[in-house]
Structure 1
Amino acid sequence: MMIHALSDVQTKDIGIDTNIWQYCVVLPKASIGSNCNICSHCFIENDVSIANNVTIKSGVQIWDGITIEDNVFIGPNVTFANDKYPRSKQYPETFLKTVVKKGASVGANATISPGIIIYEDAIVGAGSVVTKDVPKNTLVVGNPARIIKNLENETK
Structure 2
Amino acid sequence: MQEDARFPGVAIHESAYVDEGVAIGAGTKIWHFAHVLGQTVIGENCVLGQNVMAGPRVTIGNGCKIQNNVALYDGVDLEDDVFCGPSCVFTNVNNPRAFLNRKSEFRRTLVKTGASIGANATIVCGHTLGAFCFIAAGAVVTKDVPDFAMMAGVPARRIGWMSHNGAKLGADLVCPESGRRYRETGPDTLEEVIR
Q: TM-score, normalised by structure 1?
A: 0.96
Q: Which has the higher contact order (CA 8 A, sep 6+)?
A: 1
Looking at structure 2, the residues matched to 96 and 57 of structure 1 have their Cα atoms a distance apart, in angstroms, of 23
RMSD: 1.2
- Following TM superposition, by how much is the alpha carbon of 1:48 offset from its aligned partner in structure 2, in angstroms? 0.5
* Residue equivalent to 1:125: 136
Residue 148 (structure 1) aligned with residue 165 (structure 2): no
Cα offsets for 1:77-106 (capped at 9, x unmatched): 000001001122412424100011000000
Cα offsets for 1:106-147 (capped at 9, x unmatched): 000000001011000000000000001110011000000010
Looking at structure 2, the residues matched to 12 and 140 of structure 1 have their Cα atoms a distance apart, in angstroms, of 33
* Residue equivalent to 1:138: 149
Kept in 1, the 8 Å contact 2:38–2:57? The answer is no
Identity of aligned residues (%): 38
Looking at structure 2, the residues matched to 119 and 48 of structure 1 have their Cα atoms a distance apart, in angstroms, of 18
Alignment length (residue pairs): 156
* Residue equivalent to 1:41: 51
Looking at structure 1, the residues matched to 132 and 162 of structure 2 have their Cα atoms a distance apart, in angstroms, of 8
Q: Could you say which structure has the larger radius of gyration?
A: 2
Residue 106 (structure 1) aligned with residue 141 (structure 2): no
Q: TM-score, normalised by structure 2?
A: 0.77
